[in-house]
Amino acid sequence: MTDQDASTELARLRGTIDNIDAALVHLLAERFKCTQQVGELKARSSLPPADKAREERQITRLRSLATDAGLDPVFAEKFLNFIIAEVIHHHERIAEGK
């Protein structure tokens, strides 16, 4: 592969990465819009911000999806836990009326 070929291929691959990153941002934005509504509903109904049983079901499901897709399930679990922790933080703030 010539230097020119390599830089053309690198630019092509990075274009794909940029598209995927954009899709991830849009997907996360939609998820947070939805969890915002869940947080408001929970606050109105005096439900707790976190639901550990639901989280366990989600993690089991995501780990299985990740394995089937060829993604490291440990990474998938960490990623989901990171997002859920942020959501719970938002729900706590909503419940406090902030």
Ligand X SMILES: C=C(O[C@@H]1C=C(C(=O)O)C=C[C@H]1O)C(=O)O
77 binds ligand X (CB under 6 A): no
The number of residues that bind ligand X (CB under 6 A) is 12
> Could you say whether residue 87 binds ligand X (CB under 6 A)?
yes
Binding flag, residue 55, ligand X (CB under 6 A) = yes
* 71: its two tokens: 């993604």
The smaller minimum CB distance to ligand X, of residues 58 and 71, is found at 58
| Smallest separation (angstroms) from ligand X to the CB of 72 | 20
Buried b / exposed e over 31-64, threshold 16 CB at 10 Å, is: eeeebeebbeebbeeeeebebeeebeeebeebbe
